[in-house]
Amino acid sequence: MPSVEISNQKAFTSEIQALTEIKHHNIVKLYGFYSNSQFSMLVYEFFEGGSLDNILKNDEQAIVFDWKKRVNVVKGVANALFHMHHCCSIPIVHRDISSNNILLGSDYEEARINDFGTAKFLNPNSNNMTTFAGTFGYAALEIAFIMKVNEKCDVYSFRVLTLEIIMGTHPAKRISSLAGNSINNDLLLSDVLDSRLSPLTKSILDDVILVAKIAFSCLSDSPQSRPTMEQLSTQLARTPKSHSEDQFHTITIGQLMRD
């Protein structure tokens, strides 16, 4: 069981409150904590695979992290966020969903959301204004500009994370170009997927297309236009539309958005 020393008392308290409230298979388990006047420490379950960020940056590990495992991780994170947003007594927003805060087991098939130091309980009687929290490149724009937080902030981060999982690297500048003209974008889906992996087989092809469609559906900068995690989790649980391998090689980003 790893322990993490926390220097920020507010983050320490937030982490304990959130992990005490949330009980879900895809959220890291908190086994205990210790605090005195010098330092505070949290004790978590140990995940041998390490962070998703490190796995994607290592070519050898990224290849082992195959398409089936990547789809499972996306579904696991979606289910955990759905639980946080819609099934807890008070909705909880993580505010820092990134590949560095997703831990995987040794087989890379099970995901756990980690690091709840910036998590926020949403008050239905408040505007939920906040200071900036999160990781640049994953944080929703409204947090940086209007300092308002809601569940759609995590949806934005989930979309970036999902793109990173299927592309094999952070989408970075590609996000703005895709968001600006996604419906008419003639870029082939096959050209943006992680080229380190073996070609998609029929058994997983439809699932990957569905995951990609969901990722691109969250591109809107407007929180009101983003789907909820309940909607995304429900979509991921459905049997995906069937495609042939020939069809796959003609699918564009614009097509995904229009279908």
Q: Which residues contact 27 (CB under 8 A, 6 or more apart)?
A: 19, 80, 83, 84, 112, 113
Q: Which of 96, 115, 194, 207 is catalytic?
A: 96
Q: Max Cα separation, the chain?
A: 64
**Residue 194: active-site member:** no
> How far, CA to CA in Å, does 256 sit from each of 18, 94, 196, 207, 222?
36, 28, 23, 13, 19
Q: Which of 82, 83, 77, 76 is nearest to 23 (CA)?
A: 83
Sign, Cα dihedral of 93, 99, 104, 108: positive
Q: What residues are annotated to the active site?
A: 96
